[in-house]
Amino acid sequence: MKALFFTIAIFGAFPAVAVDLPTALQAALVSDPTLASAVANRNAALENVSIARAKLLPQLSLQGSQQRLNQTTTLGDKSSSFEGPTINTQLTLRQALYRPRDFAGLEIGRLQADYGEAKLLAAQSDLWVRTTEAWLDVLTAQAAHDIFERTLVSVAVAADQEKKRFSAGEGTRDVMSEAAAQLSLARAQSIESTLNLQARVQAFNVLTRLGVTEFNDQRLPKEAKFGFIPGSEEEFLGHVLAVNPELSAARTTELVFEKRVSQNFSDHMPSLDLIGSLARGENDTANSVLGTQYNKSVIGLQLLVPIYSGGGVSATHRQSVAVYEASKLDREALIHRLTTQIGADWKSLAGQRARAAAALELVQSAREYRRSIELGIKAGLRTWADLGAADLQLARRENEFATTLGLMTKTQARLLALLPATDPAWERWTVEISRQARS
């Protein structure tokens, strides 16, 4: 197992991505539309506090009207006429004193703001793991490309040597054909690895918008040697359940719907407001003051007692209770999903470590076998076709080892992505992986 942490010679010549992981993450943070949407939704959620608070603050309004009045009034055999403007102006102040619905609405607004923050952290975690996986995919594809490019050169030499031996009468047609077939396979693998690398680079550039075309100065990182995950599986699970952004959002949603239950029930309760107004009128027909002006001020309390609304309030309350129960079950389902994912990835990571150790031993065995073939060629006991076959076998095992390292690192990233973007484990892991990629 210690061999996993040694500098692996087969990756010594691997060029890799020209930008390190922190640079890729910063670029994705700036360019990703999903994260930009989460930021906008967070900002919108923050406004719920101001909207809810506004209903409890003083409400001041000004109303004015001006009309042209032409009126004739007849009383018995007497009549009077009036022609002129009617002008009315009223300034009204309303201050909520007791409004259970609006007080509950303020608490809901604060919870909705918390929900927006939690969803933003969840979006950052999702972007972090998507960017990390895209970066690792490029490095893994680059490793495979270099393996098969190097193998193509050696297999081509072996095929050429067998062709020369056959022309000189020292070789056989079947051995020459075998070497030619090995060369065709090596070419196909090289072409496939090139196309795969191009696809991975394109996906990386779409996500980060860095426009990177050359990959060098880095290599596929080995497994981090430090404890990037605190303690045991059970301790990590407990930490995730305490800080996971999606779970925090689910808890907040549950609290929101719990508050909505009490808010909808409060529609059965009375409300009390303080009312004050100043009015000025001229020729107000409603107050029978034609030809005069008046000023009026009013202050008092307004009590509103709901009596019957056709059953809508009760139905709304029952609906909110059902939605609240559903939110609790959604939170429990999310806990089950997180528990299952952590258990699966944790055990998968342990299995990948064992597989990587075995793959490394197979690589070393394939190298020893290739060296024995080289000695056999010098002694006349082996053919160049045998060496080509050994090169293809070594390439397969090196590629399997590289793929396992990539999967192992991506599994670590998926586990870390369950933590919020502010968790210190993020920075520790990113710094360590980037350091290994540069070493």
Amino acid 377: pLDDT? 87
CA 36 vs. chain centroid, Å, equals 11
CA 319 vs. chain centroid, Å, equals 31
Distance CA 439, CA 436 (A): 5
Amino acid 194: pLDDT? 93
Q: What is the pLDDT of residues 200-216, one digit of tens each?
A: 999 999 999 988 776 66
Rg (the chain; Cα; Å): 38
Cβ proximity of 306 and 270 under 8 Å: yes
Closest CA to 53 of 112, 114, 111, 107: 107
What is the side-by-side order of every strand in the sheet holding 271-282?
Answer: 59-75, 78-98, 271-282, 293-304
Q: What is the pLDDT of residues 137-148, one digit of tens each?
A: 999 999 999 999
Specify the range with the lowest mean pLDDT, choosing from 8-12, 73-77, 306-310.
8-12
Q: What is the pTM of this model?
A: 0.80
Closest CA to 382 of 104, 215, 184, 161: 161
Superfamily of domain 2-57+100-268+319-438: Outer membrane efflux proteins (OEP) (1.20.1600.10)
Distance CA 222, CA 12 (A): 12
Domain boundaries, the chain: 2-57+100-268+319-438
Closest CA to 313 of 378, 265, 262: 265
Closest CA to 15 of 280, 217, 317, 310: 217
Q: How confident is the model at residue 170 (pLDDT cuts 50, 70, 90)?
A: confident
Closest CA to 94 of 62, 130, 120, 58: 58
Q: What is the pLDDT of residues 310-331, one digit of tens each?
A: 888 889 889 999 999 999 999 9
Cβ proximity of 91 and 62 under 8 Å: yes
User: pLDDT above 70 covers what percent of the chain?
Assistant: 91
Distance CA 18, CA 254 (A): 45
Average pLDDT, the chain: 86
Helix (H) or strand (E) holding 56: none
For 90, list phi and psi in degrees, rounded to 5: -140, 130
Amino acid 15: pLDDT? 38
